[in-house]
Amino acid sequence: MGGHPEIGEPISFADGSTMLFGSLLIPSGPGPHPAFVAIEGSGGASYRLGWTEGYFPFWKDVSEFLVERGYAVLLFDKPGV
């Protein structure tokens, strides 16, 4: 994952012929849990940068906020990231 930290459960899925990679964060406790899918904007940065010291932690903060309140969170990198 490009030297970035592992976050939650690693996942992958196909978008046509392109594989996308991401993370699924699941709150503790029994499910089912409502889910939040994070859709990033343009650019080549990975959501994983938010878990790296020195970078703006937007997705980290949002994800932790949601997981603490019982939501599962799916984060994934755009094609080419």
35-63 pLDDT per residue, tens? 999 887 767 777 777 767 667 778 888 99
12 or 77: which leads in pLDDT? 12
Tell me how far apart the alpha carbons of residues 23 and 11 are, in angstroms, rounded to a whole number.
5
State the pTM of this model.
Answer: 0.78
pLDDT at 6: 61
Rounded to an integer, the average pLDDT of 1-6 is: 51
Q: Where are the domains of the chain?
A: 9-76
Residue with tokens 């932690």: 57
Strands 35-38 and 72-76 come out as: parallel
The least confident of 12-16, 32-36, 62-66, 76-80 is 76-80
pLDDT tier for residue 66 given thresholds of 50, 70 and 90: very high
